[in-house]
Structure 1
């Protein structure tokens, strides 16, 4: 609590950070306390409350109470409590540079309680915004935040914050280190080839520690059009040194945002702590590319002798590379849950509505359902799946018998709440010579899906689900497969087609697509889709490929929404399994008391 007679708090911080006996001692120094910031008296007033009548607000996906939300930051588990921090602008449903760290806690990753804002602009090194970052759990179970601050010169610098009270499992208060900033770039007019562009230097990763005792962290930047993950090392987590060589870099794809670097076990469906090294692990480097607003990951080898990451052959950061999600999914962040041995992934799902519509509805941005991440048995890609905890929201189980769906047919899945549902379906196709040939120029699946949408008849496909459909099919979001015959094998295209998702002419109605690594003759083609009012998350082939869509139907809302299985191909397809559930509403960001007060 700030003293009554002044707006400055004298702090003396003494925290053991390393088991080696090193202690960070912040000298007595006057630090501007967040409680005295101009924004500190901000509360959520009655007009800022959640609108329960909003047909587009999600029921079980994470959202901020109101206004703008983007990147997930610093997810972790601490003393049995899950934490999610997120980029939040509390005043408008539009992005603003002077952003803060929102904060919520949970015991099950589904129901969330709003906590006080963790970080807000207050010091010269972050006065223009507290941008994205990560949390690292130091020895003796001590979490710390590394985050990007926008300083008083609008340069991007890296800062450290510590919990004020480690005995508080909810970590409601955080203290910024007096030594901040800890990592800085150089002005853009510096011609040194090794300089870090201070205007494009952001989003520190979770740190990891090797046997030499040094901590390592990467920060995204660029040199001209070369993207880099700049590598810093530290003995004490305060004094950081640029190694001079990036962990990894690639020419031509611009600044790398929100880098995430972590190990995955080979042959085990378990998560791995970020510092795990061994012959039984590979490493993943995920990058969010600002220029395309898509993110890509590669799988490869971490050479600890040279401190560099080497992607496997064919693993690339480009449009031909691997993505967590081939729809709206960006600025993702993973963490290791040491209580369940899972690596859990969060991702921001941005809007398809216009800014004017966002202002009207009073919010913008949703987080995807958290997913577990493991290495596929092939070792060539990751597999993602909604957390098992999501299943506890299922109710009203509906199961239909196995059946053949003829070409041109439509089957309704009724007796569930189709606007708030979880559905699993699998298909089987017979071996046939009557399969559409794959043109050698059809290399981009998103373009192919836009050309061959749900209404374009094929042979085997399109077949799949029409979600958030209106009674007369004026509106629907189609998720489907289409089968082609390649030179040596069958090729499976998965599409999420939003071209008829809404009669509102202003919404974004893209089609998304990916090729799925599955043998459609010898394996079932499976889909799991989470439907939640304005979001459709689709997982195919048991999580090998994922596509997330944001849609704003005008007719197919609430109890007016329908769910159908469809086959618009000429050939019959067998449905081997259909099971669907209505989903209960989760408790998300309700206030810790009935007054809904939220303060800095």
Structure 2
């Protein structure tokens, strides 16, 4: 399994749709028989796997049912719009599917629209093999539905914009929702509204309050990046607050193993939830032996920071129902190079929260802005074994008795001209002695006002699946 294809909450049930390879544990991107897998849950923690809801059996998806999104239409009718592969050259079109029986709480059977494909790549300069992943629909001030589709248009990454009266018949708008020459293709687009100062979510199918910001999220270069801006209703375009030419400096949803994320509005709790596909570090032969590959991350609540500059995330509160046997330590004093073992954790899974209070911030090393272009490189060069002015400090997880195998999650503090920059690293390079595994160092920088509060907090959900 890999990319998500439209999570949603409907009539008391959470639904997760995703690309799934029924023929084995090989990557779905290597198969021409990708189906739309389906799992359901009442609490976002315990899931039931059901039969696939879409299989490649029509001309508009005969070589694969790829990623899409779910939208709740008027009359409480759910719909999936998804990408179909029509030939071995991976030419892509967009299709609609509707539930066969809305009274079935699990929505186990779906019917493809008779007019599929509803959107085709018919315009000059559009690469038909780079035209996919339609967004959840939203309604404009004219009462028409809109969606965006990621595309490579004349070598530029583009969010093409389409309109519809009935969600079945679509017309391309002459101008895109947004376009950039910084990259050639955006996939797994997401477009949603957020409100500064509130951790509540907004339903894109309803009226969006004045003053709301919008987020355009895109998958590119194996990471999920995003922009915050405004949706200009008169021009029907997204206008980012800040335009940065180098995509490596764009905001990121996550700095680790997290890709092809998709969000949805959870009407049960009035929140927006996001989650993504994560690949394990195993070899291909390991995947074949165990019979599966690919997992989805823990669902997270996502909202806009009070300053309106970045998104904040936190694991959904339902995850705390898994907690058992609390271990608590307070008032520990650690000096540079100290290791404190948290005893009593006799399981491979753990939910760990730590607050680090800094006694002084005077020794912070100077920050080099060029590091922003490649934070993982800085994590590799200034790893947990390299002492700095402030740091490293953090958590060592899944460690062997002799520390030959372990994973480091740590921070380091730098001083820029305006503020303090925190380097956050997850270093897998010593996570296993086995050769051939994918064990990179992940990392990213974020600003923190340590003058206001000299505290850095960390929460890790530890699970050996990814380490």
TM-score, normalization: structure 2?
0.95
1:443-494 C-alpha deviation (Å, 9 max, x unpaired): 3322211111111122211110001111110011101111122234332111
Closer, same or farther: CA 281–440 of 1 in aligned 2, 3 Å: closer
Q: How does 1:430-579 map to 2 (within 5 A)?
A: 430-443=359-372, 444-523=374-453, 524-534=455-465, 550-551=466-467
Is the contact between residue 431 and residue 521 of structure 1 (CA under 8 Å) also seen in structure 2?
no
Is the contact between residue 203 and residue 219 of structure 1 (CA under 8 Å) also seen in structure 2?
yes
Distance in 2, Cα, partners of 1:521 & 1:345:
32
- Aligned twin of 1:174: 110
- Aligned twin of 1:370: 299
Is the contact between residue 182 and residue 246 of structure 2 (CA under 8 Å) also seen in structure 1?
no
Q: How does 1:340-359 map to 2 (within 5 A)?
A: 340-359=269-288
Matched, 1:147 2:82: yes
Distance in 1, Cα, partners of 2:181 & 2:272:
30
Distance in 2, Cα, partners of 1:345 & 1:406:
37
CA displacement at 1:418 relative to structure 2: 4.7
CA displacement at 1:360 relative to structure 2: 1.9
- Aligned twin of 1:91: 23
Q: How does 1:126-141 map to 2 (within 5 A)?
A: 126-141=61-76
Is the contact between residue 422 and residue 447 of structure 2 (CA under 8 Å) also seen in structure 1?
yes
- Aligned twin of 1:238: 168
- Tell me how many residue pairs correspond in the alignment: 460
Distance in 1, Cα, partners of 2:360 & 2:245:
33
Q: How does 1:184-333 map to 2 (within 5 A)?
A: 184-186=120-122, 194-275=124-205, 276-289=207-220, 292-314=221-243, 318-333=247-262
- Aligned twin of 1:556: none
Match of 1:339 among 268, 293, 302: 268
CA displacement at 1:315 relative to structure 2: 6.0
- Aligned twin of 1:581: none
Is the contact between residue 298 and residue 315 of structure 1 (CA under 8 Å) also seen in structure 2?
no
Closer, same or farther: CA 317–92 of 1 in aligned 2, 3 Å: farther
Distance in 1, Cα, partners of 2:229 & 2:182:
20
Is the contact between residue 299 and residue 315 of structure 1 (CA under 8 Å) also seen in structure 2?
no
Distance in 1, Cα, partners of 2:288 & 2:116:
36
Distance in 2, Cα, partners of 1:340 & 1:149:
33
Closer, same or farther: CA 317–329 of 1 in aligned 2, 3 Å: farther
- Aligned twin of 1:120: 55
- Aligned twin of 1:401: 330
Deviates more, 1:110-119 or 1:307-316: 307-316
Is the contact between residue 345 and residue 372 of structure 1 (CA under 8 Å) also seen in structure 2?
yes
1:206-245 C-alpha deviation (Å, 9 max, x unpaired): 0101231110001111124310000000111111001121
- Aligned twin of 1:77: 9
Report the RMSD for the aligned CA atoms in angstroms.
1.5
What are structure 2's unaligned runs of at least 5 residues? none
Distance in 1, Cα, partners of 2:239 & 2:343:
50
CA displacement at 1:403 relative to structure 2: 1.5
Please give the secondary structure, in 2, of the residue aligned with 1:181: coil
Distance in 1, Cα, partners of 2:451 & 2:319:
31
Higher RCO structure (Cα 8 Å, ≥6 apart): 1
Distance in 2, Cα, partners of 1:486 & 1:213:
48
Please give the secondary structure, in 2, of the residue aligned with 1:117: strand
Distance in 2, Cα, partners of 1:435 & 1:278:
42
Is the contact between residue 315 and residue 321 of structure 1 (CA under 8 Å) also seen in structure 2?
yes
Distance in 1, Cα, partners of 2:117 & 2:83:
9
- Aligned twin of 2:344: 415
Please give the secondary structure, in 2, of the residue aligned with 1:213: coil
Distance in 2, Cα, partners of 1:261 & 1:142:
21
Please give the secondary structure, in 2, of the residue aligned with 1:357: helix
CA displacement at 1:139 relative to structure 2: 0.5
CA displacement at 1:316 relative to structure 2: 6.6
CA displacement at 1:148 relative to structure 2: 0.6
Matched, 1:163 2:99: yes
CA displacement at 1:173 relative to structure 2: 0.3
Distance in 1, Cα, partners of 2:67 & 2:361:
51
Is the contact between residue 177 and residue 237 of structure 2 (CA under 8 Å) also seen in structure 1?
yes
Distance in 2, Cα, partners of 1:235 & 1:395:
51
What are structure 1's unaligned runs of at least 5 residues? 1-68, 187-191, 535-549, 552-600
Distance in 2, Cα, partners of 1:483 & 1:287:
29
CA displacement at 1:293 relative to structure 2: 1.4
Distance in 1, Cα, partners of 2:340 & 2:462:
18
TM-score, normalization: structure 1?
0.75
Distance in 2, Cα, partners of 1:427 & 1:312:
33
Distance in 2, Cα, partners of 1:315 & 1:298:
10
Is the contact between residue 492 and residue 520 of structure 1 (CA under 8 Å) also seen in structure 2?
no
Distance in 1, Cα, partners of 2:378 & 2:393:
15
Please give the secondary structure, in 2, of the residue aligned with 1:238: coil
Distance in 1, Cα, partners of 2:128 & 2:197:
41
Distance in 2, Cα, partners of 1:277 & 1:301:
12
Is the contact between residue 182 and residue 245 of structure 2 (CA under 8 Å) also seen in structure 1?
no
